[in-house]
Amino acid sequence: MDAIDHRIIAELRKDGRLTNQDLADRVGLSPSPCLRRVRRLEAEGIISGYTARVDLRKYGLPVAAYVRLRLSKHGDTRGIEERLAGIDQVQECYLMAGDHDFLLRVAVDSIDGYERFLREHLHGIADVSSIETNFVMSTVKETGPLPR
């Protein structure tokens, strides 16, 4: 990756709906080479997809939480990973090194909704020995430029 690839990615992270012409103008290329670079970045998996950022409060999910799970035994976690990946309230899920085994970002409609989420989904996972939750009060920074 060179400096132009980095600029392409930076511009697409700001606005993934840019037309190829607008993107080319912003990074100083003509449209054809710009499109070739974007397609290459996609083919190499550097750009893995495009999505819409949604204001979860306005969408009806105003309660966000980061949930840390600790397992009682450490073996094959694929079953737990698949289970967590299939829960709609879980927006992100990471297998971690350190004090906790999983870190989840969860979105729900209320504190009662969070309690339902715990009871219906997390409490039923046999190997989970502890659950620690931090609720988000406000978002300071959600996405930003990538360091180079």
Q: pTM for the complete prediction?
A: 0.86
Predicted confidence at residue 73, as pLDDT, reads 87
Average pLDDT over residues 129-144: 92
pLDDT for the residue 110: 98
**pLDDT, tens digit, for every residue of 56-101?**
999 999 999 999 999 998 888 999 999 999 999 999 999 999 999 9
So what CATH class is 56-135? alpha beta
Percent of the chain at pLDDT exceeding 70: 100
pLDDT of residue 143: 80
Instruction: Report in angstroms the alpha-carbon separations of 126 from 31, 58, 82, 121.
Output: 54, 35, 14, 11
What mean pLDDT value characterizes the chain?
95
The CATH code for residues 3-43 is 1.10.10.10
pLDDT digits (tens, 9 = 90+) for 41-57: 999 999 999 999 899 99
Give me the residue spans of the domains in the chain: 3-43, 56-135
